[in-house]
Amino acid sequence: MNLILIPIILPIVSALALLLISERTRYLKELLAICASVVSLLAAANIFLLPAQTVSYAWLGSAISFTLSTDTLSAFLLLAAGLFSAAISIYSFSMPNKGPAKWFFFNLLMTQAFASGAALADNMVAMLFFWEGLLVFLYTFIALSQTTYAAKRTAMKAFLINGATDICLLVGITITGYIAGTMSMSEISHNKLTLDYGWSVFAYVLLLIGAVSKAGAFPFHTWIPDAATDSSASFMAFVPAAIDKLLGIYFLARASIYLFVLNGTMQLVLMTLGAVTILVAVMMALVQKDYKRLLSYHAVSQTGYMILGIGTLNPIGIAGGLFHMINHATYKSCLFMTSGSVERQAGTTDLSKLGGLFRAMPVTGLCFIIAAAAISGIAPLNGFFSKELVYKGTLDTGYTIFFLAAELGSFLTLASFLKLGHSVFFGVRPENLKETKEAPFSMLLPMLGLAAICVVFGFGAQLPINWFISPSLEALNIRHGILTGFHPDKLYFLSVIVILAAVINHLLGLAAGGGKADKASDHIHYAPVLKEAYAMAERRVFDIYEVGMDRVVPAFSYALFKVDRFFDWVIDTAPSGAAGFLGNTSRRFHTGSYPLYMALTLAGAIIYILLLASNGGLK
């Protein structure tokens, strides 16, 4: 078997084998999933180290080739997908509330396989095949994670939102392939499409919608916080925080740099979308009272930095966007793992019911601190350097407003993590948590590994930039200068100011909230204007799915009902009524009177003659 096929075929075969194992069989399902994901990771590592490879099969009667190929960007993404799959499979070994183990690991392995296929696909039709497969397993992942009605409803919400945007992606791929004359992305890259006429603009916008929806950007993000509440931490650490984000941003980079040449207008669209996603989601994260739900909004907010970086269209910003893509998947998966550990050991993720767990769970607490500092952009961890590249990229565009939005997002990110960390790991431990102990080793091992990556990828970011990001830029045909190193410049000192401001804000919030850490954001939550905006958000006024299902769909259905009744009247009621009226009227003349019949015949003949005369029928 060609090495490039192993990360796709091995997880699929293993997933199908899992279905043959009884749910009552202990450890066999977990061990099979771990072995399959680890072997796939090793295969992905070999693929990354080897020269570019291509596998092509005739498909649909040779009309379309099913082509899988590697360049440094796709191989990097394949490696990342393998890493997070292996980490989650090990982490979930001792995770109890993930739903039936057989189906959980089946969904995990199938998601890994289809994510690998989407990363390796050179043909856009082949990519779409794997992309849509992920949609199916997204639904089953959520629906089977819990037995509640809420889980089923959230699964349907995720399916419909992503399904609608995937239709946009399908149409966009069709138009792009028609314009370019090929479905091969590598062939299109040799003669990139420009946005100088309507159809190409339309095609790119549709691809953009599909990519940012998969990444979980505003306004297609609303299923993610619901999934955080209604599914498991293992799912959140794997799909919304890692796999979906990786694929969405990966294809956004492909479309925006590799397939199309964007103009200034589309650059502003991308950067605006990134800035809005950062601020809207982080404002919502700040006021959350649940561990996993707070993290879910940050998963959305950090997507904004990736979109913003790619939207700069300059090498330093794009490098920042791609670097932040892998950084975010790393520390956000780690953070969701910490939430799962706390939930398993303490029995809740409600911030008001937690506190003082650092002594009881020191390893989990340490991993949380490292990952929280990384996502907040604190030097010398990896998140600082990817954000620094995004900041510099935005400044190079000349649009300072986007730089300010990104910095404000960093302030609010740190403020919310100070609240979260204080609420969970510090302060006074509740009486019912006095006997809480550290999570099992199988849960701690992947957390420690991901926290270690946050450290190793920091300190100047030499390793990740030189090994992964620079080669990825070369795969996108982007030339760049030096991207690594620690620079104690104005941006660094500004980051120190942001950190101090967030700490001061937290202290003020504690004082205003009576010393309760979970209320440290209430002074912002209930501030004038913001209070009303948050109240609207809690009523889901800004949730496109809820607005559609509760208002638009019923109104549209009622309108269709009225249209249907109208056509029923036109086709059935009106003709029947007219026929009845004519029948009743003609019946009045059927009296059996011969003189009446003669008079009607003569009247008809006279009318006919007059009509002919008026139309020139008589000479």
Single-letter residue type at 164: A
Q: Are 227 and 142 in contact (CB under 8 A)?
A: yes
pLDDT higher than 70, residue 381: yes
**Mind listing the pLDDT tens digit for each residue in 59-98?**
665 556 788 899 999 999 999 999 999 999 999 988 887 8
Segments of 190-243 assigned E as strands: 193-194
Residues 291, 338: Cα–Cα separation, whole Å: 10
Whether the pLDDT of residue 619 is over 70: the answer is no
Chain-wide mean pLDDT for the chain? 89
Segment 115-135, tens digit of pLDDT: 999 999 999 999 999 999 999
What is the pTM assigned to this prediction?
0.88
pLDDT at 387 over 70: yes
228 CB-near residues (< 8 Å, 6+ apart): 236, 240, 290, 292, 293, 295, 296
Q: Which residue has the tokens 């045909």?
A: 477
The more confidently predicted of residues 528 and 59 is 528
Is the model's pLDDT at 306 over the cut of 60? yes
- Percentage of the chain modeled with pLDDT above 90: 61
| pLDDT reported for residue 572 | 79
Give the model's confidence band at 590: pLDDT under 50 very low, under 70 low, under 90 confident, else very high: low
Query: What is the model's pLDDT at position 478?
Result: 87
Q: How far is CA 424 from CA 282, 347, 421, in A?
A: 19, 13, 5
Share of the chain above pLDDT 70, in %: 96
Which residue stretches of 312-425 are H helix? 315-346, 362-375, 382-397, 400-425
Closest by CA position to 279, among listed 291, 295, 297: 297
